């Protein structure tokens, strides 16, 4: 019987995709034992937007969440998602911050770090991979999967070899938009397994309606692991449902090692949690929708909803189709960057500007200028003719690794947050999200931290 393992995403990507990462640690605790006993390869439970959400919305210490889950989960690997040199944010950090963050992540309980770069630039991954391995963690390096004239199967197979060269312990095909089709998935997995002798995991989203077919084909092609979410937070913008995939794969002769009785207990609990978020209005029913336009425009489902939201705010909903059609044009102009954070937001914003200003590139965000300057890394293909000059004129484009331009940052960060930081983890929280972490740590250390000062008039009798 062919073996295929399952990584469960409900604690991170499942709930991030459907309830904007609002699930609390307290809501996770009742089923951690069942998750640990269900036979998963790993539990993806940290990184991505969880860190930001803990600080910004939940008044939780993300490091304490990690330690709490690690204490309860004794048998199953814990996994996190990391944006390479961007860590959990939207800009490059100095190597000392990247190295310390990863060291502390492993020390506090992470086993597997899935590391990706929005441009698939290996230079933006090498420090994170090295730090993970030195800390004793497993460095899973992820391809940010997308489609374009340059993003062929050959391109991704070559990229996989480069990832192996920088020390990847395993490879992940990270299909953040749900656009990996069944046949291409089969071909890509076959070719990668022939090219490198490393475990291969496949991650997709159910947005476009083809994810289960894709998972079947990649399983047939020899994928070692697939990502699913327990049914409570599955489908739509999330991953396919764990229970359904396990039943289908087991009947087809695959051994998943999953105890469905345990998964059913987990689902029963999270169904109640889902009900709470639906009643609070945080779970938008649209996140369960199938959106075939994802395949037509190659735009992730979350990006579609963000564009619509931005247009609604400006009373320009009638421009939606124009903006949607502009996205592939801007992406081609910029050398076909994959539409994943932060590039999806940047391309979407530029497309929006082009349409509502009535003139292409009349208004250009600073992030797009920095991208063209090379500060995010190497674009997958050359920029369209004349675009560089249109956006940054005759400025030079950097060709070195962007992080080489950044001096060590930790000494200054330690001083800046010294009034409130009690550990290196606190400093790293501040490095990641300065204002949110300062507020969280300030409230923790000073009960009067965020109480507004009142104007008091004092009357003195003489």
Q: What is the CATH number of the domain that holds 380?
A: 1.10.472.90
Residues 87 and 182 reside in one and the same domain: yes
Is 253 domain-assigned?
yes
- Let me know if residue 294 belongs to a domain: no
Instruction: Specify if 292 maps to a domain.
Output: no
Distance between CA 312 and CA 320 in Å, rounded? 9
Which CATH number does the domain housing residue 95 bear? 3.20.20.70
Does position 343 have pLDDT exceeding 80, yes or no? Answer: yes
Computed over every residue of the chain, the mean pLDDT equals 93
Which range of residues forms the domain containing residue 420?
410-461
pLDDT of residue 77: 98
The answer to whether residue 334 sits within a structural domain is yes
* Same domain, yes or no: 181 and 96: yes
Closest listed residue to residue 18, CA positions, set 268, 205, 292: 205
In sequence order, which ranges of 168-319 are alpha helices (DSSP H)?
182-195, 211-221, 242-251, 260-279, 293-297, 301-313
Per-residue pLDDT reduced to its tens digit, 133-164: 999 999 999 999 999 999 999 999 999 999 99
As given in the structure block, the two tokens for residue 358 are: 């009535």
Same-domain status, 59 and 149:
yes
Stretch (H or E) spanning 176: none
pLDDT tens by residue, 3-62: 999 999 999 999 998 998 999 999 999 999 999 999 999 999 999 999 999 999 999 999
Q: Does residue 312 share a domain with residue 439?
A: no
Say whether pLDDT at 307 is over 80: no
- Is 36 a domain residue? yes
- What global pTM score does this model have? 0.93
195-223 per-position pLDDT tens digit: 999 999 999 999 999 999 999 999 999 99
Q: Is residue 115 part of a domain?
A: yes
Q: Are residues 363 and 453 in the same domain?
A: no
Same domain, 65 and 152: yes
Is the pLDDT score of 306 beyond 50?
yes
Q: What is the mean pLDDT of residues 314-325?
A: 88
Same domain, 217 and 319: no
* Rounded CA separation 44/48 (Å): 10
SS3 138: strand
Residue 456 has pLDDT above 50, yes or no: no
What's the mean pLDDT in 179-199?
Answer: 98
Domain co-membership, 425 together with 389? no
Collapse the DSSP code of 6 into the 3-class scheme (helix H, G, I; strand E, B; otherwise coil) and give the result: strand
Write down which residue in 286, 320, 341 finishes a domain. 286
In this predicted structure, what is the pLDDT of residue 416? 98
Please say if the pLDDT value at position 301 is more than 70: no
Q: How far apart, in whole angstroms, are the C-alpha atoms of residue 166 and residue 442? A: 40
Measure the CA–CA gap between 241 and 235, rounded to whole angstroms: 6
Q: Which of 286, 313, 335 is the last residue of a domain?
A: 286
| pLDDT above 80: residue 461 | no
Tokens of 420: 């409130």
What is the number of structural domains in the chain? 3
On whether the CB atoms of residues 37 and 256 are closer than 8 A, the answer is no
Question: In the listed set 258, 286, 314, which residue is the last one of a domain according to the structure?
Answer: 286
Element (H, E) at 42: strand 42-47
Q: What is the mean pLDDT of residues 65-83?
A: 98
Residues 328 and 442 occupy one common structural domain: no
In a domain, 454, yes or no: yes
Q: Is 97 left (phi over 0), alpha (psi -120 to 50) or beta?
A: alpha
Predicted pLDDT at 453:
52
Residues 109 and 199 in one domain: yes
């Amino acid at each position: 019987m062919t073996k295929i393992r399952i990584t469960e995403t409900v604690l991170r990507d499942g709930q991030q995709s459907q309830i904007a990462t609002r699930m609390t640690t307290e809501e996770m605790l009742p089923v951690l034992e069942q998750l640990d006993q269900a036979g998963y390869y790993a539990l993806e439970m940290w990184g991505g937007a969880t860190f930001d959400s803990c600080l910004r919305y939940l008044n939780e210490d993300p490091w304490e969440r990690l330690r709490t889950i690690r204490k309860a989960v004794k048998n199953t690997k814990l996994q996190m998602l990391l944006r390479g040199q961007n860590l959990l944010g939207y800009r490059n950090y100095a190597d000392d911050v990247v190295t310390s963050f990863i060291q502390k992540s492993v020390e506090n309980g992470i086993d597997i770090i899935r590391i990706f770069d929005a441009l698939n630039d290996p230079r933006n991954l090498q420090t994170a991979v090295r730090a993970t391995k030195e800390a004793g963690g497993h460095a899973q390096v992820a391809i940010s999967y997308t489609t374009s004239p340059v993003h062929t199967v050959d391109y991704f197979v070559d990229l996989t070899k480069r990832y192996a060269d920088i020390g990847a312990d395993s490879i992940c095909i990270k299909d953040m938009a749900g656009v990996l089709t069944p046949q291409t998935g089969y071909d890509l997995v076959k070719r990668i397994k022939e090219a490198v002798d490393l475990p291969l995991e496949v991650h997709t989203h159910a947005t476009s309606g083809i994810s289960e077919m894709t998972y079947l084909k990649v399983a047939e092609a020899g994928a070692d692991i697939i990502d699913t979410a327990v049914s409570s937070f599955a489908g739509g913008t999330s991953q396919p449902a764990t229970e359904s995939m396990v039943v289908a794969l087991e009947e087809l002769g695959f051994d998943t090692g999953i105890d469905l009785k345990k998964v059913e207990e987990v689902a029963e609990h999270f169904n109640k949690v889902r009900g709470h978020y639906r009643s609070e209005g945080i779970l938008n029913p649209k996140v369960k929708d199938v959106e075939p336009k994802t395949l037509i425009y190659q735009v992730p489902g979350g990006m579609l909803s963000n564009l619509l939201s931005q247009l609604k705010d400006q009373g320009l909903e009638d421009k939606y189709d124009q903006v949607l059609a502009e996205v592939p044009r801007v992406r081609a102009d910029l050398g076909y960057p994959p539409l994943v954070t932060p590039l999806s937001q940047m391309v979407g914003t530029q497309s929006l500007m082009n349409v509502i200003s009535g003139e292409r590139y009349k208004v250009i965000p600073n992030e797009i200028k920095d991208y063209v300057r090379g500060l995010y890394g190497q674009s997958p293909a050359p920029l369209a003719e004349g675009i560089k000059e249109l956006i940054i004129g005759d400025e030079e484009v950097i060709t070195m690794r962007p992080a080489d331009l950044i001096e060590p940052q930790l000494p200054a960060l330690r001083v800046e947050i010294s009034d409130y930081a009690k550990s290196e983890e606190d400093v790293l929280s501040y490095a990641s999200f300065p204002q949110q972490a300062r507020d969280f740590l300030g409230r923790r250390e000073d009960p009067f931290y965020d109480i507004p000062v009142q104007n008091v008039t004092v009357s003195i009798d003489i």
